[in-house]
Structure 1
Amino acid sequence: MKFSCALETSSERIRLVNVISPLIKAGYQLVSQKQEPSENGGNIIHVIARSLGSKTQEDLIDDLSSIEGCTLFNLEIEEEGGSSAAPAKKTLDEKSVLSAIGAYYPKIADIVSQYEDSLPIERRVTALQELGRKVGGGIYQRDYSLGSPLKMPTTITRELVPALKGLSKVKAKNNVIYLIKCPFCKSSDHTHSGCHFIVGYIEGFLASNPAIDVVQVEETNCGAGSTNICEFTIG
């Protein structure tokens, strides 16, 4: 079984040798390997290799996923004898994604995008919203939970907007948030599900404020391929 994959390391200190050594020990023969820096401060390790024993695809995914400090993506498998299997995607673990977000925040658009791409299409909206809720709630608790909680609409202008500025250029008018060139928004030929991370982020941020009643957030306009302005309405 021959395969190619890319792994992103959580730190610049995790380098090519830290990836290929566990693979060799696990019984894989390396064909080629390459290292390049990632936008998140770590490294991207590209590997082409083949298994020497009776490894299954599940074994391969487990072996790659167990490499410490690395996130697996873009795995393609070719069975020996020339038959090509469909690219195998592993759904990234939410816990490891949250750890990566904590390490690289606020430069997290690529991490969220990798998580989105690893998910089955039917799960993307709900999973991204849930991830966003946890991140938004965590940011409120970290940066804004001390002191007297602010009520609406003051919390939007004095807390939510500054928090979102770490992720994107942002404006607010009353209960509407505008993200200009939102980095989580896909191009016009996608389903725009990346924006659902922001929906969850805003909901989680506001839900963590004890002075705020239950809120619902809706993306009322996606700017992909047109205005480049994504609009979120807080209800």
Structure 2
Amino acid sequence: MRLLILGTGARANAHAIKFGKIAGVKIVGAVDVDLVRAKAFAAKYNIEHTFASLEEAITWGQFDAAANVTSDRSHYPTTLALIAAGKHVLCEKPLAENYEQGQEMATAAERAGLVAMVNFSYRDEAALQKAHDMVLSGEIGNVRHLDGSFLQSWLVYAEWKNDPKWLWRLSTKHGSNGVLGDLGIHVLDCAAFAAGSPIERVFARLKAFEKAHDNRIGEYELDANDSLAMTVELENSAMG
């Protein structure tokens, strides 16, 4: 399989390393609006071709699938473009910014007969797999209540204020959906997977605490939510 990596920011390194270990997979191209960054990434992982836009890569066309590692807001248009070009897609989470966009992406892939997946990396965790199996086997009875949290500490370290790889996560202008899109989506997926039931309803309170003067650092307006609390109800009536 010939693979294109779309987006060469920090997260793309994990994709290059993991895909590089799979027999039969060859990373043939890298795309980034910052061509200097794309070329540095390509040199690091011995990738032959680089492009400054997805349109250029699609016109070239010599790839079978793509790992979409762009910012949250870019997932929807870029994944649809890849599907329209007949390419399989592994998309980073969150798949889209709303249900309608996500459904459109899924429908497009199904109609095209292509493989389209979301990269929920915690699905491979042994504890989560075990919980899923125990629930489905009936070993622990009916699930009624769920409790989960995802805490990160990088905001307590000063380095984030000078590093775009962190700053973009706090700015909706730069394509971020905040902690809801970055971590909250993992909590929701883990809950649904462990309980063996899709989520039916979600209620969330989002907060963007002040982190700098006027919540701005250079070109970055720090308006994306950095904290959230939510309650959910699953289709099997469990809640948490």
Normalised by the length of structure 1, the TM-score is 0.39
Give 1 or 2 for the bigger CA radius of gyration: 1
Which structure: greater helix fraction?
2
Normalised by the length of structure 2, the TM-score is 0.38
